[in-house]
Amino acid sequence: MKELIGVINLDDELDQLNELTYFRCGAAVPFAGRYRLIDFILSNMTNAGIVDIALFVRRKYRSLMDHLGEGKSWDLDRNHGGLFILPPDWNDPTDTSLGDLQHVHNNMDFFHRSSGSHMVHSGSRHISKVDLREVYKQHISSGNDVTLVYKKVEELRPEHEACLRIDVDEQGQVTDIHKELDHSNIYIEMFIIDKYKYLELVKDCIAHGKNQFFRDAIQENRDRLKIGAYAYDGYHAVINSVESYFANSMDLLNRENYTELFRDQPISTKIKYEVPTRYTENAEVKNSLVANGCTIAGQVENSILFRGVQIGKGARISNSILMQKCVIEDNAVIENVIMDKDVHLSRGVTLMGDTRKPFVIAKSSQI
Amino acid sequence: MKKEVVAMLLAGGQGKRLKGLTKSLAKPAVYFGGTYRIIDFPLSNCTHSGIDTVGVLTQYEPLVLHSYIGVGSDWDLDRRGGGVFVLPPHERENGSSWYQGTADAIYRNLNFIEQFNPEHVLVLSGDHIYKMDYNEMLRFHKEKDADCTISVIDVTVEEATRFGILNTNDDLSIYEFEEKPKQPKSTLASMGIYLFKWDVLRRHLIEDENKASSSFDFGKDIIPLMLENSMKLYAYPFKGYWKDVGTIQSLWEANMDLLCDEPKLKLNDPSWRIYTRSPNQPAEFIAPGAKLNNCMINEGCVVHGEVIHSILFYGVEVGEGSVIKDSIIHPKVKIGRNVRINKAIINENIVIEDGTVIGSDSGDEIVLVNSEEDYAARSGRGREVTNP
């Protein structure tokens, strides 16, 4: 879809996942056995045929750059357009822009050179499978200035507390944007807007010393803009804390959620040439998600194993998430644990967390 | 641009003995090991051996193979001044014909090889499963100052009657080549891997091409001709796993070899990864009622039933109450509930209905299910047995 360009703005995203975001930004946090959070929004964009995508990063983006490379796995290694990772490497002495507006001000070339007339603006914390072609269609036919995407959640969970809600009238127009806790229309931090309208609003914000685009140009400007709402109904998860990361990961062990997230359009991620997972004669695996390259000789239940994990004989893993290349030696026991990459757990060690408060082990720990 | 070695991979064979598996694709494109195709092995070996120029000679049903290889980026063979080249037979000024034999296929691509002006040409075949550092062979070849080096593997006397056997002197120089000898004098079997000095090979290809009686085959014609012309031929002994997967039986065995306690072919080896086209599937879902025992399962599978001593390729679904034993299930096969599959190879994309029985516990024969009709014919009897 040549009409659309994509902006993934990670500027507002705090490093909220404790040990998991000590060395990486939230967008680079591994999820669902073989992905990183960024893969979901990136795949939504490429599945909609978007080929010009800018990624605004500010902190801890080494791991993200390593993951994305030149965008080949997402089919974004293009002669014209493709993926642009835009770190804050700018030095304009006349620049008076603040906050996330700086990214736009200092990367005007991206907006001018990209061929699309409209842009999708998104973060990476909300995992969804929004069909952006449909959002765009609605945006154009409605004649609105901007279209916000929201999900009416069935059940309000703790991670929704930090989310913005939107009130929508019968015509699908947004009447209010707020944080009232009992409202269930969760704004999934995604909007479509005319590219030039966006640039105009950015310019206006900068002129008035503003520093946060969504709040200052959309939320505060409600009366002057025609703001529409697109009701998304499909898989949705917000990852903004260790608890929400754990809960939403475990929810994927529910077959319906798994199917909803992975059916139809594929989610792309960095290709690794791992062998299929080997389950030995002693393996007992139940209700788990397992990626390739693992060798499992122990018991695994209600857990998620990323690529290349090794589980020794007699080891018991339950309600846990083990990221890439963790090694669990024989007879070790873990329950309610999130293990970051490359953790090595020695023979017979026991680690326990709580279902609501998982025990998080930092990357490359030796225990 | 001068290259030390150019590899020529013979991938045009039909592989008739693989029966239905090669109905619509060439043998090198046949699946192996839960995620690979046979050709991944020689291609990955080339990359890891530092050989960046590979000509792939195709002929029989090349569509799958051509689109699979693409520009070769999965094997790191999308290179400047080299890379992977697919070389099907083509029309020429003096008429057109198919490749008449392995030697003819190389002969017809002399100009392809010449543009790289190589010192040596490595001839490989696309029907073997093995990990090999061709550099070691090249070192041996240069040490011996050989005109041709043939990689050999030690087999039993019994097996020797089924292979091309090389009879050698103590210094491993070859004095005789025997195809499937009844009374083998040696147990060194040719692995179908030849390393030639390019100028010597070129000369012999031209000489052979002009012989009316030739069958244009490396084993039958070129090697005997070189021996006749007193060229220096050496046998390079390879130690490691090597398996010809030319029959349903041997293909099944090679797959099952991966399920040994200590497989001789170590696939999970970060220093020698076998590259393949990634199907990009989500992590496999192992349901609460699943039972897994000594098996390999690829991403994208959803397993509710029992999988024993079997290999599942990507995207396979196994329904509740189903038991898969001693079998190989190719990509995207959907297996319903209460299905029994014993010692079978199920080809890709097939849907197996609830209650079907394929193969039997006692059967020695490997059942190949290659199409829906194939399985419908076999399943009638089974349904009666399993349905309550």
DSSP per residue over A308-338, as a string? T-EE-TT-EEES-EE-TT-EE-TT-EEESEE
Q: Which residues contact B153 (CB under 8 A, 6 or more apart)?
A: B188, B189, B191, B237, B238, B242
Question: How far apart are alpha carbons B322 and B354 in whole angstroms?
Answer: 9
The full DSSP string for B286-341 is E-TT-EEESEEE-TT-EE-SEEES-EE-TT-EE-TT-EEES-EE-TT-EE-SS-EE
Between residues B246 and A30, the one the model is more confident about: A30
Confidence of residue B387 (pLDDT cuts 50, 70, 90): very low
For residue A218, what is the domain's CATH number?
A: 3.90.550.10
Q: Is B242 exposed, middle or buried, given 0-12, 13-18 or 19+ CB atoms closer than 10 A?
A: buried
Distance between CA atoms of residues B129 and A15, nearest Å? 47
Q: What angle do CA A311, A317, A322 make, to 5 degrees?
A: 70
Same domain flag for A50 and A153: yes
In whole angstroms, give the CA distance from residue A306 to residue A287. 15
Structural domains in chain A (count): 2
3-state secondary structure of B257: helix
Span B359-384, average pLDDT: 69
The 3-state DSSP composition of chain B as helix, strand, coil percent (nearest 5) reads 25, 25, 45
SS in 3 state form for A143-180?
Answer: CCCEEEEEEECCCCCHHHHHCCEEEECCCCEEEEEECC
* pLDDT, mean of residues B287-300: 95
Q: Does residue B273 belong to the interface with chain A, where contact is any CB pair within 8 Å?
A: yes
Mutate to test the interface with B, among A75, A252, A258, A279 (most CBs of B within 10 A): A279
Residue A272 inside a domain? The answer is no
Judged by a CB distance cut-off of 8 A, whether residue B283 touches chain A is yes
A30 touches chain B (CB under 8 A): no
CA–CA dist B300, A76 (Å, integer): 23
On whether residue A59 sits in a domain, the answer given is yes
The domain containing residue A86 runs over which residues? 4-262
Residue of higher predicted confidence among A132 and B278: A132
Side chain identity at residue B292, one-letter code: L
Hey, is the C-beta of B268 within 8 angstroms of any chain A C-beta? yes
Best residue in B40, B259, B265, B292 for a mutation probing chain A (most A CBs within 10 Å): B292
- Tell me what pLDDT residue B1 has: 64
Residue B115 in contact with partner chain A when CB distance is under 8 A: no
Which of A262, A297, A331 delimits the end of a domain? Answer: A262
Residue A273 in domain: no
Domain assignment present for A57 = yes
Chain B positions touching A269 (Cβ under 8 A) are 280
B382: pLDDT strictly greater than 60: no
Helices (H) and strands (E) in chain B, counts: 10, 28
Asked whether residue B378 carries a pLDDT value surpassing 70, the answer given is: no
Higher model confidence: residue A322 or residue A2? Answer: A322
Q: Is A120 left (phi over 0), alpha (psi -120 to 50) or beta?
A: beta
pLDDT of B29: 93
Q: What is the CATH classification number for the domain harbouring A326?
A: 2.160.10.10
Q: In chain A, how long is the greatest CA-to-CA distance?
A: 68
As a whole number, the mean pLDDT across chain A is 93
B282 forms beta bridges with none
Residue A190: what pLDDT? 96
Whether chain B has a CB inside 8 Å of the CB on A295: the answer is yes
pLDDT of residue B376: 62
| Residues of A whose CB is below 8 A from B289 | 286
The rounded percent of chain A whose pLDDT value lies above 90 is 78
> Do B290 and A268 lie within an 8 Å CB cutoff?
no
CB of B311 within 8 Å of any CB in chain A?
A: yes
CA–CA separation, B30 and B300 (whole Å) = 20
Question: A288 and chain B: CB distance < 8 Å anywhere?
Answer: yes
For range B193-215, the mean pLDDT: 91
Q: Report the range of poorest mean pLDDT among A74-78, B234-238, B326-330.
A: A74-78
Give the span between the Cα atoms of B367 and B388, in whole angstroms.
Answer: 25
Q: Which of A176-180, B177-181, B258-262, B376-380 has the lowest mean pLDDT?
A: B376-380
Answer with the one of A209, A231, A262 that is the final residue of a domain: A262
The CA distance from A251 to A302, in Å, is 10
Confidence of residue B279 (pLDDT cuts 50, 70, 90): confident
Nearest-angstrom CA–CA distance, B240 and B257: 13
**CA contacts within 13 A on the Cβ side of B237:** 12
Return the residue of B nearest to A286 by Cα: B288
Domain-embedded: residue A98 = yes
Q: What SS3 state is found at A273?
A: coil
Kindly state whether residues A90 and A233 are assigned to the same domain: yes
Residues A316 and A258 placed together within one structural domain of the fold: no
pLDDT, tens only, B335-352: 999 999 999 999 999 999
The verdict on A216 and A316 lying in the same domain is no
pLDDT at position A185 is: 95
Sheet holding B295-297, edge to edge: A344-345, A327-328, A310-311, A295-296, A277-279, B295-297, B311-312, B328-329, B344-346, B367-369
Residues from chain B that touch A292, judged by Cβ atoms under 8 A, are 35, 298-299
Residue B381: predicted pLDDT:
45
Mean pLDDT of B140-154: 95
Say which residue, A11 or A196, is predicted with more confidence. Answer: A196
**Per-residue tokens: A82:** 């493709």
Which ranges of B190-282 does DSSP label H, i.e. alpha helix? 198-209, 223-228, 248-257
A148 belongs to a structural domain: yes
* pLDDT at B379 > cutoff 70: no
B53 closest CA partner among B31, B29, B72: B72
Residue B178, helix vs strand vs coil: strand
Chain B interface mutation, best of A129, A292, A319, highest count of B Cβ atoms under 10 Å: A292
Residues A183 and A313 in one domain: no
**A367 sits in which H/E element:** none
Q: Residue A53: which residues within 8 A CB-CB, separation 6 or more?
A: A5, A6, A7, A8, A42, A45, A46, A71, A76, A82, A83, A84
Q: What is the average per-residue pLDDT within B360-368?
A: 82
Residues of B in contact with A286 (CB under 8 A): 286-290
Give pLDDT tens digits for B83-125: 999 999 988 887 788 888 899 999 999 999 999 999 999 999 9
pLDDT score recorded for residue B212: 80
Distance CA B51, CA B45 (A): 8
* CA–CA distance, B335 with B302 (Å, rounded to integer): 10
Is the confidence at residue B377, as pLDDT, over 50?
yes
Tens of pLDDT, residue by residue over A300-344, are: 999 999 999 999 999 999 999 999 999 999 999 999 999 999 999
Contacts 24+ apart (CB under 8 A), B110-116: B110/B202, B110/B205, B112/B55, B112/B85, B112/B87, B113/B6, B113/B8, B113/B55, B113/B198, B113/B202, B115/B1, B116/B1, B116/B2, B116/B3, B116/B6, B116/B53, B116/B82
Among B276, B283, B286, whose Cβ lies nearest the Cβ of A287?
B286
Does residue B384 register a pLDDT over 50? no
Q: Do A291 and B283 touch (CB under 8 A)?
A: yes
For A50, A350, B309, the CA distances from B362, given in Å and listed in that order, are: 56, 44, 16
CA atoms A245, A247, A251, A253: torsion sign: positive
Whether residues A27 and A161 share a domain: the answer is yes
Q: Judge if A212 and A285 occupy the same domain.
A: no
Look at residue A319 and tell me if it is in a domain.
Answer: yes
Tell me: do A89 and A165 sit in the same domain: yes
Residue A121: inside a domain, yes or no?
A: yes
Q: Say yes or no for a CB contact (<8 Å) between B282 and A33.
A: yes
CA atoms B279, B280, B286, B292: torsion sign = positive
pLDDT of residue B336: 95
Does the pLDDT at position B301 exceed 50? yes
Q: Which residues of A touch B282 (CB under 8 A)?
A: 32-34, 258, 261-262, 267, 289
Q: Which of A262, A288, A311 is the last residue of a domain?
A: A262
Phi-psi region of B197 (alpha: psi -120 to 50; beta: other; left: phi over 0): beta
A211 and A328 share a domain? no
**Residue A271 touches chain B, beta carbons under 8 Å:** yes
Q: Are residues A17 and A119 in the same domain?
A: yes
Specify whether A152 is located in the same domain as A36. yes
Q: Which tokens go with B202?
A: 């070129």
Cα(B143)–Cα(B317) distance, integer angstroms: 53
Residue in B248, B242, B200 with CA at minimum distance from that of residue B225: B200
Q: Cα–Cα distance between B268 and B276 in angstroms, integer? A: 13
Å between A213 CA and nearest CA of chain B: 35
Claim to verify: residue A157 and residue A236 sit in the same structural domain: yes
Q: Considering only the beta carbons, identify the residue of B74, B280, B298 that sits closest to A276.
A: B298
Q: What is the pLDDT of residues A268-302, one digit of tens each?
A: 999 999 999 999 998 999 999 999 999 999 999 99
